[in-house]
Amino acid sequence: MVGKLVVVAGLMFGFGYAMVPMYKHICAALGINVLSLAEQQTPGALANRKANTQVDLTRTVTIEFDANARGPWDFKPEVRHVDVHPGQITTVMYEFRNVQNRTMAAQAVPSYAPKQATAHFNKLECFCFNEYTLKPGETRRWPVTFVIDPRLPKDVQTITLSYTFFEVGGKVPPAPGGRS
């Protein structure tokens, strides 16, 4: 019985060890796992890489950026608008400065106009995904990386991305000198 268990354990180990090359061959044959294929290319081959065919170069959509702060701090986008092609990956930076004399915790909440654009505005990276703690006088810059889905209705030519920055209560001590 012990011999059979040792053989089964050895076969399981061998199968697990063989999965890595099998996975690589299957992915190469099916054309998936694109990141590992790009990593295998030589540095000069990146210049010869084909353009992203998912970008709709026949259309341009204006993305307007708005920032609202619910509290005594400065919050603004570095640019007020950009023109993008649907399918094009774009990054815009926002700046936040805590002008209070105390540490604060805050988070941004996004909204979109027109409403039908919401399903077609895909954020890949956004400061609104996290809550942040900032010390008095601290300034931070945060990126918003997004792509507009090419299936965005043709009549939508302008999208407004608006953020409202709220303080998250109970996360940091109250302001000094606030006795009750």
Question: Percent of the chain at pLDDT above 70?
Answer: 80
DSSP letter, residue 173: P
**What is the assigned CATH class of domain 61-167?**
mainly beta
pLDDT digits (tens, 9 = 90+) for 95-141: 988 888 888 888 888 888 888 888 888 888 888 888 888 888 888 89
Element spanning 122, H or E: strand 121-126
pLDDT digits (tens, 9 = 90+) for 57-80: 888 999 999 888 767 778 889 999
Buried/exposed 62-86: b ≥16 CB within 10 Å, e otherwise: ebebebebeeebebbbeeebeebbb
- The residue ranking higher by pLDDT, 57 or 2, is 2
Q: What's residue 1's pLDDT? A: 94
Q: 161: which 2 tokens?
A: 């991305």
**pLDDT band for position 6 (50/70/90)?**
very high
CA distances (Å), origin 81, targets 38, 68, 90, 160, 161: 33, 16, 12, 9, 10
Q: What's residue 48's pLDDT? A: 52
Domain boundaries of the chain, sorted by first residue: 2-46, 61-167
Distance of CA 121 to the CA centre of its chain: 12
Report if pTM > 0.85.
Answer: no
